[in-house]
Amino acid sequence: MDKSALRARLGQGPVWAMGCMSGTSLDGVDAALIKTDGDVITGFGPSVFHAYTDAQRQTLRRALGKWQEAPEIPAAAEIVEKVHQSAISNLLQNDPAPSLVGFHGQTFAHDPQGRGTHQAGDGQALAQSLGLPVVWDFRSADVKLGGEGAPLAPFFHHACARFIKADAPVVFLNLGGVGNVTWVDPSRFAPDDAGACLAFDTGPANAPLDDLMQDRRGKPRDEGGQLALSGRSDKAIVDQFLNHAYFHRMPPKSLDRNDFPDLPKMVEGLSDVDALRTLTACAAAAVARGLEHCPVPPARVLVTGGGRHNAALMAELRAQLSVPVEDIDTTGLNGDMLEAQAFAYLAVRVARGLTTSSPSTTGVAAAVGGGSISIPLEG
């Protein structure tokens, strides 16, 4: 089957697609099914999460910030592919069967103004092992055309706003290792219409919290933000954090997980609980600063990703933002799987030749359709 045959096979109506995501928090692989025509979401299917082991996570951490030629990459890429294979195979045992898979891979380095962007994982090898078409390498085309290559979920967020029948501008706030926002005007028909979306990374989110817990206590995270809840934030450190050059850039803009290397040093003199609370306050302050760029204030902020399970972070957001802050699950969407679902949605858009990013979501010169399609080879 070639690419034109795939498009013919998909037809014009909704199809089931699977999306996979391994984020900068390095907790594991999400895989989820949705039904879509690449425009409207018509259904959500089952999902699965496969956690990385502690040993696997350490190998992945050693590869952060590294490019393709680094000696740490092969072992890390093998883990990424192995765990994706396991998660996908698990989900394929359920109905419905997907027509194609969206495979994001694992971002290890992101420097859109320099070397580009690096996601590890071989889409052709995955297509061959699954016997299914795989859409992957979603970011490279955008970067080559001058875009940031991130964030890439905004077009899906636009579809989600229509799915939940939002009747006013709304912000989707994803709190992974890095935070990012999508401001959506659901009255705009298409996600690449002028004024439909504005998206950008806000700043560090879970990554510095998780790194501090790993470095100081040998644990992957502050579960539920319970330690941070008992701490006090240092306002002087938060103010110093907000002086970073990134916050003076206009969006669209994006970050690498390691773009704030001085942050751990800024809190090294604090107790564990106060350091955690201060880093939490920094993450919320970055969001508050970012929302100043919204064309009009949103009616509400819908929080997705692992950060919404952090009670201290949610409390900081509600204290620092002047609009209602809600766990996205209250709308009927699945905040743990939204990123994986986004790449299922984008896979269908790529397969049908539709755009996946625009000037207002990544800063690319014109709306572009990214992604490569790998078809299983016969014989």
Domains located in the chain, CATH noted: 3-150+341-374 (3.30.420.40), 165-331 (3.30.420.40)
Q: How far apart are CA 53 and CA 34, in angstroms?
A: 27
Q: At what angle do helices 311-320 and 272-291 cross, to 10 degrees?
A: 40
- Tell me the two tokens of residue 108: 């290890």
Q: pTM score, two decimals?
A: 0.95
* Segment 101-158, tens digit of pLDDT: 999 999 999 999 889 999 999 999 999 999 999 999 999 999 999 999 999 999 999 9
In which band, very low, low, confident or very high, does the pLDDT at 364 lie, cut at 50, 70 and 90?
A: very high
In which band, very low, low, confident or very high, does the pLDDT at 2 lie, cut at 50, 70 and 90?
A: low
CA 177, chain centre distance (Å): 9
Residue 96: other Cβ atoms inside 10 A: 13
Report the SS3 class of residue 360. Answer: helix
* Segment 233-268, tens digit of pLDDT: 999 999 999 999 999 999 999 998 889 999 999 999
Give the pLDDT confidence score for residue 4 in this predicted structure: 77
Backbone dihedral angles phi then psi of residue 337, each to the nearest 5 degrees:
-115, 5
Backbone dihedral angles phi then psi of residue 56, each to the nearest 5 degrees:
-65, -40
Share of the chain above pLDDT 90, in %: 93
Phi-psi domain of 100 (left: phi exceeds 0; alpha: psi -120 through 50; beta: other):
beta
Q: Comparing C-alpha atoms, which of 122, 130, 45 is closest to residue 80?
A: 122
Bridge partners (DSSP) listed for residue 111 = 116
What DSSP state is assigned to residue 331?
A: G
Mean pLDDT along residues 303-324: 97
Give the pLDDT confidence score for residue 66 in this predicted structure: 95
Q: What is the chain's mean pLDDT, rounded?
A: 95
Bridge partners (DSSP) listed for residue 35 = 16, 43
Give the pLDDT confidence score for residue 1 in this predicted structure: 57
* Segment 44-83, tens digit of pLDDT: 999 999 999 999 999 999 999 999 999 999 999 999 999 9
Q: Inform me whether the pLDDT recorded for 369 exceeds 80.
A: yes
Mean pLDDT along residues 6-12: 82
Q: Can you list the positions of beta strands (E) in the chain? A: 15-22, 28-36, 41-51, 100-111, 116-120, 134-136, 170-175, 178-184, 197-204, 301-304, 325-327, 372-374
- Tell me the two tokens of residue 303: 């929080």
Q: What are the residues whose beta carbons fall under 8 Å from the beta carbon of 218, sequence distance 6 or more?
A: none
Q: Are 343 and 104 in contact (CB under 8 A)?
A: yes
- Tell me the two tokens of residue 119: 């996601």
Q: Comparing C-alpha atoms, which of 318, 3, 30, 277 is closest to residue 134?
A: 3
Q: How far apart are CA 123 and CA 300, in angstroms?
A: 37
Q: How far apart are CA 287 and CA 317, in angstroms?
A: 8
